[in-house]
Amino acid sequence: MIERRYEFSLLDTQAMEKVVDDERVNINHIVVEPGKIVPVHVSNSHIHQIVVRGTLSLSLEDGPFNEHPAGSIVSVPFNQKMAIENHGADVLEFFVVKAPNPRDMPPTKAL
């Protein structure tokens, strides 16, 4: 079998799980309950956030929050301060695709 299948949890509660971590890419699955946040951090690679449920509220470099609904793919460059929150009434679920894998990137700036 050439293909490889990866599995992720089907949840309605707060979670972050690493789904793929290989030499080319890192993919995380994140679920954020209404009113909750992902801790502020700096993007450690070039990332694409694929919103599959709810609305992603994203602030870069302490700027205003922008809303990205389900069906959106949001690209964020390397080394950007990020705040992710769920301002909506529904569960937020998204995947984060990091390429190249962060272990192959230079160090990020300090918060």
DSSP 79-97: T-EEEEE--SSSPEEEEEE
CA torsion angle 50 52 54 58 (round to 10): 0
Q: Which residues contact 68 (CB under 8 A, 6 or more apart)?
A: 49, 51, 55, 56, 57, 58, 74
> Could you give the number of structural domains in the chain?
1
Residue 49 has what pLDDT?
A: 98
In one letter, which amino acid is 12?
D
* CATH assignment at residue 98: 2.60.120.10
Six-digit token string for 75: 């690209």
User: Which domain, by its residues, includes 75?
Assistant: 26-104
Q: Kindly report, residue by residue over 2-33, the tens digit of the pLDDT.
A: 999 999 999 999 999 999 999 999 999 999 99
Q: How confident is the model at residue 1 (pLDDT cuts 50, 70, 90)?
A: confident
Q: Is 18 contained in some domain?
A: no
62: three-class secondary structure by DSSP:
coil
Q: Kindly report, residue by residue over 26-85, the tens digit of the pLDDT.
A: 999 999 999 999 999 999 999 999 999 999 999 999 999 999 999 999 999 999 999 999
Q: Is 30 contained in some domain?
A: yes
In angstroms, the Cα distances linking 14 to 3, 23, 24 are 30, 28, 27
Q: Is 109 contained in some domain?
A: no
**Cα–Cα distance measured from residue 34 to residue 95, given in angstroms and rounded to the nearest whole number:** 17
